[in-house]
Amino acid sequence: MRRVAVVGTGYPKHKSRWEEEGLTGLVYLAATEALEDAGLEPADIEAVVYGSSPELLTGINHPEKWCSEASFSVGKPQFRIHTGGTVGASTGIAAFYFVASGMFDIVLAVTGDKNSESPVQYGLSTVYDPIIGRQFACGAPSAVALQALEYMYKFGATEEHGAKIAVKNRINALRNPKAHLHIEGINLEMVRNSPMIASPIRLLDACPASDGAAAMIFVSEEVAKKLSAPKAWVNGVSAVTEGVMYVDRDMTDPIALKKAAKTAYTQAGVTNPFKEIDVAELYEAFSYQEMIWYEGLGFCERGEGMKLIDEGSTFMKGIDYGFETPRAGELPVNPSGGVLSSNNIGSTAMIRQIEASMQVRDKAGEHQVDGARVALAHGWGGGIQFHTVMILGREPA
């Protein structure tokens, strides 16, 4: 397997509704920004991997076809990836596979969705089994509410923990100009007073639905060395699927995530993730999930995710969140604002990889974690089914 680097990334600002751009325009904006960042031309791209959310969310089947020109796919192999909310990460991983395998040297991974164009939870409910199960779906919030409650019962987490994560990521988002939600003055009180969607999940514990797109350029080591753009080396990659029969699963024990983390850590030579990883971008579609993912990723022991919140370890250093965060900066999670601040379903998991790569390329601007050398990007989706982990490094492993 060959070494692979990310040399360019791009995503336009995410927002509730992009009135002035359709899907084609957003994909074009993301792809051109990534090319400019890499110092490459459209003709340099050898293959394209395209990802988006389930079609019923946007009502356009085969969106990759309509974006062939915008994604510079014409005359080249183009492949569509489809793994629910994980799709953005899976798209990046597929592009990595294309380059690592030796088949291609320069691959564009691109994703996009206009989630404003339909009531998202309607489309999302169609990912449930139509025969037994869909009748009780109201989209993602109901499933994750059950997960959050189970976690609270088992380990004693409280609504306060969820609210602190909601505040952390929204305050972080204020330093990311591309984040969708910029909620000035966000605090615990605002989260507590926001309407209940599916108990215990309140509106401000949930991600928004965003219009947006994202793109990354994956290249071989040989090409990377010729480019002046800073590199993020893809040092560990893993994607793991859980059984679809979730009915007897312990949703507080993400076995697929644990397996994905273990594989990626072994590849990247990470033995103590909490100490060795400098910054992480996790797929926390709902506030409570962030603690469960900490545990799945081995940042702490099972049931101790809330300790990292109580102690403030995953908060950014030097930011006032309105409550005590004595150990801030130990392992900042979601400096970009995370999924709680931008959620363009097709792109969300790719933005985790983009933001992680920006951190090790020193390109994260105001939300840069100083001197970050090892960054982790996580993806989740498909009704608690898929997990992905990518480890990006300033140097190759």
Partner 1 sequence: MSTDKISFEPKVLEGEINIPYKWTTGPAAGKFLTTLRDERKIIGLKCSSCGRVSVPPEEICGKCRKRNSEFVDISDEGELVSFTEVRVPVFWQPAEPPFVIGFIKLDGADTLLIHRILASASSLKKGLRVKARWKEEREGHILDIEGFEIIQEG
The binding site for partner 1 (CB under 8 A) comprises 19-20, 29, 32, 35-36, 42, 56, 59, 121-122, 125, 130-139, 141-142, 145-146, 149-150, 153, 196-199, 243, 245, 247-248
Q: Toward partner 1, which CB reaches closer, 75 or 195?
A: 195
Query: Is the Cα dihedral 341, 19, 10, 256 positive or negative?
Result: positive
- What minimum distance in Å lies between the beta carbon of 62 and partner 1? 14
* Minimal distance, residue 209 CB to partner 1, in Å: 12
Pick 384 or 389: Cβ nearer partner 1:
384
> Quick one: 7 or 297, whose CB is closer to partner 1?
7
- Calpha distance 236→150 (Å, rounded): 31
Smallest Cα–Cα separation from 217: which of 15, 378, 37, 84? 37
Nearest to 355 by CA among 283, 305, 286, 292: 283
Cβ closer to partner 1: 116 or 267?
116
CA distance 356 to 369: 10
CA distance linking residue 70 with residue 150, whole number of Å: 44
Closer residue to partner 1 in complex, CB, 9/220: 9
Q: Which residues contact 331 (CB under 8 A, 6 or more apart)?
A: 274, 277, 278, 279, 280, 299, 308, 313, 314
Q: Do the beta carbons of residue 219 and residue 227 sit within 8 Å?
A: yes
Rg, Å, the chain Cα set: 19
CA distance 47 to 6: 15
We find the least distance from the C-beta atom of residue 200 to partner 1, in angstroms, to be 8
Say how far apart CA 30 and CA 35 lie, in whole Å: 9
In the complex, what is the shortest distance from the CB of residue 243 to partner 1, in angstroms, rounded to a whole number? 5
Nearer to partner 1, 133 or 269 (CB): 133
Within the chain, how many helices (H) and strands (E) appear?
14, 11
Residue 244: strand, helix, or coil: coil
Which lies closer to partner 1 via its Cβ, residue 143 or residue 364? 143
What tokens does 138 get? 């109201």
Shortest reach from residue 54's CB to partner 1, in Å = 13
Q: 263 — phi, psi (to 5°)?
A: -65, -50
* Cβ at position 173, least distance to partner 1 in Å: 24
Q: C-beta of 45: minimal distance to partner 1 in Å?
A: 12
Q: How far is the CB of 98 from partner 1 (least distance, A)?
A: 23
Residue closer to partner 1 by CB (options 248, 320) is 248
Closest CA to 183 of 174, 192, 191, 175: 174
